[in-house]
Amino acid sequence: MDISPTHRYEVRGGSEIVGRVRAWATETAAGLGADERATADIALAVSEAVTNVVRYAYADRQECHLILTAKRIGERIVFRLRDYGDKFDPARVRPPKMDGELTVGGYGIFLMQHVMDDVRYVTSHPAGTELFMMRRRHR
């Protein structure tokens, strides 16, 4: 099986890191051979995940610390996000109501699951959460 080298990006800061991470995810996905649609989907999912980390794991503090990695495994691209903030329990998240009434917020995880092929959380670390998201390079 063809596996690419791992791309790594470590970032610290506050809400301003979302744009930097999105740019890195876009460039990295394209560099790993994702088509235009997959690249856009990956950038959306990664930026939604980082927004959630900043907002909830770090409660909008300026001390966010994330380590992101990405690699291609055959036809799949895997992004990993590791934070060291407050733990996240995905079982406590309810899906957004899709009753035609728009609300602000609450769609991040839904969007991530919709545009990615697989989304998994590792919550067994002493601190923080690890998120794995996988997407085929072409659909």
37-48 pLDDT tens trace: 999 999 999 999
User: The domain containing residue 16 runs over which residues?
Assistant: 7-136
In a domain, 18, yes or no: yes
1 in a domain, yes or no? no
Judge contact between 81 and 18, C-beta under 8 A: no
Please state whether the predicted TM-score (pTM) of the whole model is above 0.85.
yes
pLDDT digits (tens, 9 = 90+) for 20-34: 999 999 999 999 999
Domain count, the chain: 1
pLDDT band per the 50, 70, 90 thresholds, residue 6: very high
Tell me what pLDDT residue 103 has. 53
pLDDT of residue 2: 87
Report yes or no on 29 lying in a domain: yes
Q: What is the CATH number of the domain that holds 55?
A: 3.30.565.10
Output the pLDDT for position 97.
Answer: 66
Q: For position 8, what pLDDT does the model report? A: 98
| Cα atoms in the Cβ-side hemisphere of radius 13 Å centred on 106 | 11
Q: How far is CA 103 from CA 38, 94, 100, 112, in A?
A: 27, 14, 9, 17
Dump pLDDT digits (tens) for 51-93.
999 998 999 888 999 999 999 999 999 999 999 999 988 777 6
pLDDT surpasses 60 at 106: no
Q: Which residue has the higher pLDDT, 33 or 110?
A: 33
Domain assignment of residue 57, yes or no: yes
Residue 2 included in any domain: no
